[in-house]
Structure 1
Amino acid sequence: MVREGPVPQPGVERLTPFARHPAVVGVVPGQHPLVVRTAVSWARAVAAPLLYLAYADPSRYVVEEHPDGTVTHAAVDPDADDGSWEETDAALRKQVAVLLRDEPVPWELRYLAGRPDRALTHLARAVDAAVLVVGTRTPGAGGRLRELVEGSVAAHLAHHQHRPVLTVPLRVVDWSEGSAPWGR
């Protein structure tokens, strides 16, 4: 879909009130629980009715976006479509259910496809989320390489949509080491 006219910019008139509005939380398999726990804390503070936990699978593409934020998706490589996405979905549901079993905040998990920033933005728009919650990159060489190639999901979100982005640090760099974290 190509938008006619200028891209809508952030502004007071576009602000979604925090109180009683959901959050969209980016999750990945094996993610540190701090991201979801931070989102739960935010949800409690603003009486959010629901947390939408969402995983965007980059090995799949969106066939159709639905008004409720769900998507119909297919494998980028149809020869490799072995249904493993269903295993990932089930593992994420189990991971989240264990993490949130004693939490009073209602949640839903959405399995999305494509670029995480675009997928999370679509879901946030569809559910009228007040905020997006994401973690920083995965620690280690693999996370640094992935961020170098794909870019930071948090940075893409902050620059390409109007909702606030709550970024949860997963690794703190000791400033006395002398180099900036993005220079590693």
Structure 2
Amino acid sequence: MTEFAGHPLVVSAVPGQSPLVALTAASLARATAAPAVYFAYVDTSRYTVEEFPDGTVHHEPVDPDLAGDEARETEQRLTALVREWMDGQDVPWFFRYLAGREDRALTHLARAVDAAAFVIGAQTHGHRRVRDFLGSSLAANLSHRQHRPVLVVPVQVVDWRGRAPWE
């Protein structure tokens, strides 16, 4: 286990994500004196060629015909989005553009920066069975394949009388 005090957090950042995930991570970072929050986007259409000690990676597209500037543009868009989310927060943050399988890429980053925990937004799947929901959940994959805690931030309120997103 990595102590919370003085260790960074890793936050999964995806397009269209609620800012509540970033605000929750910033609040937890302040509460635990985390030196930084590492936001990361994992591009599953790319693969990792080389991993570096700071958590960054050199990556290439799985399909060589798609070797355009799309990854760079996505990285710039998401960095700007994280900057917007963190505006006014007094927590240092960094952005990492990763590649490959989400749980593996985020775990590599957490190991590289010696993170205390992950912060991710809850997935909303519409009408899916619980088995399907859990089988494809980043939170479930992370919690079963590495030792750091995973904080899942609810981003959609469901009334107790209503149906959960996976029902």
Find the partner of 1:111 among 92, 97, 113.
97
Unaligned stretches of 5+ residues in structure 1: 1-14
Is the counterpart of residue 32 in structure 1 residue 18 in structure 2? yes
| 1:4-33 CA distance string (max 9 Å, x none) | xxxxxxxxxxx1110111000000112110
TM-score w.r.t. the length of structure 2 is 0.91
Larger radius of gyration: 1
Distance 1:28 1:90 in 2: 13
Q: How does 1:32-111 map to 2 (within 5 A)?
A: 32-111=18-97
Is the counterpart of residue 135 in structure 1 residue 121 in structure 2? yes
TM superposition shift of 1:66: 1.4
**In the alignment, is the contact (CA less than 8 A) between 1:35 and 1:134 conserved in 2?**
yes
Matched with 1:175 is: 160
Unaligned stretches of 5+ residues in structure 2: none
Distance 1:109 1:139 in 2: 26
| 1:78-104 CA distance string (max 9 Å, x none) | 102211011110001111111212111
TM-score w.r.t. the length of structure 1 is 0.83
Q: Secondary structure at the match of 1:86?
A: helix
> Is the alpha carbon distance of 1:150 and 1:58 closer, same or farther for their aligned partners in structure 2, counting shifts above 3 Å?
farther
**In the alignment, is the contact (CA less than 8 A) between 2:10 and 2:110 conserved in 1?**
yes
Distance 1:148 1:80 in 2: 30
Find the partner of 2:150 among 165, 169, 173.
165
> Is the alpha carbon distance of 1:34 and 1:139 closer, same or farther for their aligned partners in structure 2, counting shifts above 3 Å?
farther
**In the alignment, is the contact (CA less than 8 A) between 2:125 and 2:165 conserved in 1?**
no
| 1:87-145 CA distance string (max 9 Å, x none) | 1100011111112121110000000001111111010011100000011114647x99x
Find the partner of 2:109 among 110, 117, 123.
123
Distance 2:90 2:133 in 1: 38
**In the alignment, is the contact (CA less than 8 A) between 2:124 and 2:165 conserved in 1?**
no
Query: 153-162 vs 165-174, which deviates more?
Result: 165-174
Find the partner of 1:153 among 138, 144, 147.
138
**In the alignment, is the contact (CA less than 8 A) between 1:139 and 1:171 conserved in 2?**
no
Aligned residues with identical type, % of pairs: 58
Distance 2:135 2:48 in 1: 18
Aligned-pair RMSD on alpha carbons? 2.1
